[in-house]
Structure 1
Amino acid sequence: MSDNGGMCGFEPDLSQLSHPPGDYCCCRPVPDGFSRCVWHENKENKDASKLQKYRADGPEVLDEIILRGATIGKGLEFEGCRIYASDLTGASLKGTNLRDSDLRYSNLSNANLRNADVSESNLQEVNLSDTSLGGTDFEGSHMSATDLTGSTALKTDFSNTHFAGAVLDKVEYRVTDFTNSHMTGVSFEDAEFHKPIFSEAKLQSTNLSDVRLGASNFTNASLKDANLSGCFLKSTTMNGTTLTGANLSDANCEEGNFKNAELQNSRLEETNLSEANLNGANLEGAFLLRTDLRGAELTNTKIFESVFENIITDSKTKFGEYVPYEEEGEYNKAVRVYRRLSDLKKENGDVKNSQRYYIRHKESRRKLAKKKFAETSFLKSVSQDWGIHWTKLLLSSIQKIGSRWVMKHGESPWRVIGTSLTIIVLCSFIYPFIGGIRPAISSADPHYLPIDIPFVDIPEGLQNASVYAYFSLVTFTTLGYGDLQPAGFVSRTLAGLEAFVGGLLMALLVFVLGRRTTW
């Protein structure tokens, strides 16, 4: 029997704890053959029925109890209990109700917590190393600085749990739910996860290097400044995830879903993003070195000021027809991004798309010039002596509009030919109304020069039109046969202008054809 009048009298020394509770003295009776109550007796494999006998109804204080190797099961409930600094090493707590309990500083290493309810509990600085957590409910628990090293879990619920500073080294968790959990500063060394759910979880500055996270779900999670280098993230969902400043170097993100993810200033050196979905993602300021983007989709992806060096793409890599900056009216950014995409496609041998982005680059420059011109009013420019600047903007806008329609910014010889034919036909219709043409030697009617084709009866009106078309053609091409000449000052002026424009357009045609051969 105890020397304390049959009462346990155990007073736990919790003064060394970082958050010690108030004073406590155990007043439970001491059974025969025990020196302390059944809860504080230093024995292993205690009988659950005896524990139940000396368990009060409802929440109670059970600080520094000893349940090493005990099999508790569903018979005992600890809901709302305070179980500070207790020894539950190797205990079987399968299906046990520990909801809303306070287990701070306790040792549950090697314990079996399968299907136990530990939701809303305080597990701060608890030792849960090598525990079995299959189906355990930790929802809403506080697990700061908790040691989960080597633990295994299947379909365990850690949603809304606080893990700040916890240790999850060498864990093996499958289909585990960490939704909306706070995991800042958690250690994941040599951890392995299969299909975990981290949606809306907070993992800022967390070290996840070399962790296997295949088929994970990080939807809307925060991984700002996290270290994911060497991670296995194949088929991972990161839709809307914040990865600003994160390190994904050497990570395998093949077939990952990064739609609308925030990847500003992230490091993607030698990252495998093949077949990944990056639609709508923000990669501004990101560093991509030898990044594999084969088959990736980057439609509406923001890549302004991103660094692309020796990245790998193929014909299936899709950057979209337009970049989002153009649609948002940020033409200064669109100009640089289109140029970068054009060079990138050219480096990877995709001539067709390189030309397409070059044209969009020129179109964005045209729109930028138009925008600047619209924002600079003529009256303001004159009053502030900016007339020269305003004139330059006007000429620049005209030049870019002409480049667009005449030769599609140097990429379409057919537009040059079409423009040339339009001018030839238009001039042939104008000549009859401004003096006409006449033979260089005979005095025939200047408006009628018949064409003699054997065995063909050509109507007079058609003969006139064909003659003017002929004269317009030889004038435009500067052939100068000398058989016809313009009649009158206005007609001669138009002929001179047509010859001048014809020379320019033929030079442009040579330029465009030569440019296309250099792609």
Structure 2
Amino acid sequence: MGGMEPPTNALQIMFRGKKLEFINVTGLILHGKFYFGSEGNLEFNHCAVDNLKCRELDIPRLSFENCSVRNIQIANSDISGWLFVTSLVSGIISDSKLFHFRVYGRNFTPTFVNSELDEWKVIHNGLHHEEDFEKTYRTLSKAADDSGNRKLAADYKIRELDFIREKKKGLDRFWMTLNRAYWGYGQKPFQLIKVSLISIFLLAIVYSFFPSSFANNALAGKNYFAVLFNACYFSIVTFTTLGYGDLSPIGGLKILAAIEALFGAITLGFLVAGLTKNS
């Protein structure tokens, strides 16, 4: 009986450079290595690709635009260059490596198990996205943290809270903005060192404008650079709450020094807490 056996790369040839639109491919199973060559990738546009199952998959340049990709299951795969544009994605990704993924809008919330991700690009501004798109950032932050990539996890945590901040109004938004600038919502404790140094120097400049506001005229009659040097010293010991007492402010400057000491104590406390949390 005659017949013809298809080549092993039949699917690559069939789908190479193809754009599938408005079709239902629910339950699609992809297995093995695919290579589409220079003729383009496989694109899904306005498709239902739910229950997509990928095992031991090595396939680059797959894109989903305005698709439903719910309950995706990816296992033991090495994947790069996938693109999700305003698509709804959920499911589970296990024992896989995913690189150069791009997620533009809608929502991407699969559970990652023992998987590695790197060089992802996620954008929601100007694109259709779910109201709770912060879940996308939260998902990726947890996945990065579980894989040991603390820096990437912190970046996505900050973006999650930035998204939440965008939805806030009034004082809530103001306090979140301060929190962001102060120490990156706790994700960047070393940022407090920069905040501290800037605060110390700016307050030192303020102190230097009032050399006569120190007890016993300790700074009176000195040239400006000598006054500024001593003002920096005073600002440092005040901020760190050391308070040696050799320079003592009088008048209204006492209030400013007290505020600096309080701010310094709070900042140093946050620094210790942040370093402990992120260690």
Normalising by the residue count of structure 2, what TM-score does the alignment of the two structures yield? Answer: 0.81
* Alignment pair present for 1:468 and 2:231: yes
Q: Which moved more, 1:427-436 or 1:338-347?
A: 427-436
Q: C-alpha distance in 2, partners of 1:319/1:263?
A: 19
Q: 1:414 to 1:269 in 2, by over 3 A?
A: closer
Aligned pairs for 1:104-183 (under 5 A) are 151-152=3-4, 172-173=5-6
1:306 to 87, 91, 109: 109
Aligned pairs for 1:355-394 (under 5 A) are 355-369=154-168, 373=169, 394=170
Q: C-alpha distance in 2, partners of 1:331/1:221?
A: 22
Q: C-alpha distance in 2, partners of 1:499/1:359?
A: 29
Shift of 1:347: 0.8
Shift of 1:235: 2.4
* Alignment pair present for 1:496 and 2:268: no
* Alignment pair present for 1:479 and 2:278: no
Cα-to-partner distance string for 1:351-386 (whole Å, 9 max, x where unaligned): 2211221222222222222xxx2xxxxxxxxxxxxx
Shift of 1:432: 4.8
* Alignment pair present for 1:344 and 2:143: yes
* Alignment pair present for 1:448 and 2:220: yes
Q: C-alpha distance in 1, partners of 2:246/2:139?
A: 53
Shift of 1:478: 1.5
Shift of 1:344: 0.5
Q: In the alignment, is the contact (CA less than 8 A) between 1:436 and 1:486 conserved in 2?
A: no
Aligned pairs for 1:34-113 (under 5 A) are none
Q: Equivalent residue for 2:61?
A: 257
Q: 1:234 to 1:282 in 2, by over 3 A?
A: farther
User: Partner amino acid for 1:259?
Assistant: S
Cα-to-partner distance string for 1:470-506 (whole Å, 9 max, x where unaligned): 2222222211222221121x11111111111111111
Q: In the alignment, is the contact (CA less than 8 A) between 1:243 and 1:266 conserved in 2?
A: no
Q: C-alpha distance in 1, partners of 2:75/2:193?
A: 47
Runs of at least 5 residues in structure 1 that lack an aligned partner in the other structure: 1-109, 111-129, 131-150, 153-171, 176-191, 199-215, 374-393, 451-459
User: Partner amino acid for 1:193?
Assistant: A
Runs of at least 5 residues in structure 2 that lack an aligned partner in the other structure: none
Q: C-alpha distance in 2, partners of 1:396/1:477?
A: 29
Count, aligned residues: 275
- Structure possessing the higher relative contact order (Cα contacts under 8 Å, 6 or more residues apart): 2
* Alignment pair present for 1:268 and 2:69: no
2:119 to 311, 318, 325: 318
1:244 to 37, 48, 62: 48
Q: 1:280 to 1:220 in 2, by over 3 A?
A: same
Q: Equivalent residue for 1:400?
A: 176
Q: 1:416 to 1:296 in 2, by over 3 A?
A: closer
Q: Equivalent residue for 1:207?
A: none
User: Partner amino acid for 2:119?
Assistant: K
Q: In the alignment, is the contact (CA less than 8 A) between 1:253 and 1:276 conserved in 2?
A: no
SS at match of 1:428: helix
Q: C-alpha distance in 2, partners of 1:241/1:252?
A: 25
Aligned pairs for 1:150-229 (under 5 A) are 151-152=3-4, 172-173=5-6, 193=10, 195-198=12-15, 216=16, 218-221=18-21, 223-229=23-29
Shift of 1:221: 4.8
Q: Equivalent residue for 1:512?
A: 274
Q: C-alpha distance in 2, partners of 1:406/1:430?
A: 21
Q: In the alignment, is the contact (CA less than 8 A) between 2:27 and 2:50 conserved in 1?
A: yes
Q: In the alignment, is the contact (CA less than 8 A) between 1:269 and 1:291 conserved in 2?
A: no
Shift of 1:412: 2.9
Q: In the alignment, is the contact (CA less than 8 A) between 2:28 and 2:51 conserved in 1?
A: yes
Q: In the alignment, is the contact (CA less than 8 A) between 1:412 and 1:512 conserved in 2?
A: yes
- Report sequence identity in percent: 19
Backbone CA RMSD of aligned residues: 3.2
User: Partner amino acid for 1:298?
Assistant: F
Shift of 1:329: 7.9
SS at match of 1:268: strand
2:153 to 347, 354, 369: 354
Shift of 1:515: 2.5
Greater percentage in strand: 2
Q: Equivalent residue for 2:127?
A: 328
Q: In the alignment, is the contact (CA less than 8 A) between 2:29 and 2:52 conserved in 1?
A: yes
User: Partner amino acid for 1:430?
Assistant: V
Q: C-alpha distance in 1, partners of 2:245/2:128?
A: 54
Shift of 1:437: 3.4
Q: In the alignment, is the contact (CA less than 8 A) between 1:242 and 1:263 conserved in 2?
A: yes
Normalising by the residue count of structure 1, what TM-score does the alignment of the two structures yield? Answer: 0.47
Q: Equivalent residue for 1:417?
A: 193
Q: C-alpha distance in 1, partners of 2:262/2:233?
A: 17
Q: 1:478 to 1:256 in 2, by over 3 A?
A: closer
Shift of 1:248: 2.8
Q: In the alignment, is the contact (CA less than 8 A) between 2:86 and 2:129 conserved in 1?
A: no
Q: C-alpha distance in 2, partners of 1:437/1:365?
A: 45
Cα-to-partner distance string for 1:243-296 (whole Å, 9 max, x where unaligned): 51443324454124212445524443244552332123455143124263x143
Q: In the alignment, is the contact (CA less than 8 A) between 1:238 and 1:257 conserved in 2?
A: yes
Q: In the alignment, is the contact (CA less than 8 A) between 2:109 and 2:135 conserved in 1?
A: no
Q: 1:285 to 1:331 in 2, by over 3 A?
A: closer
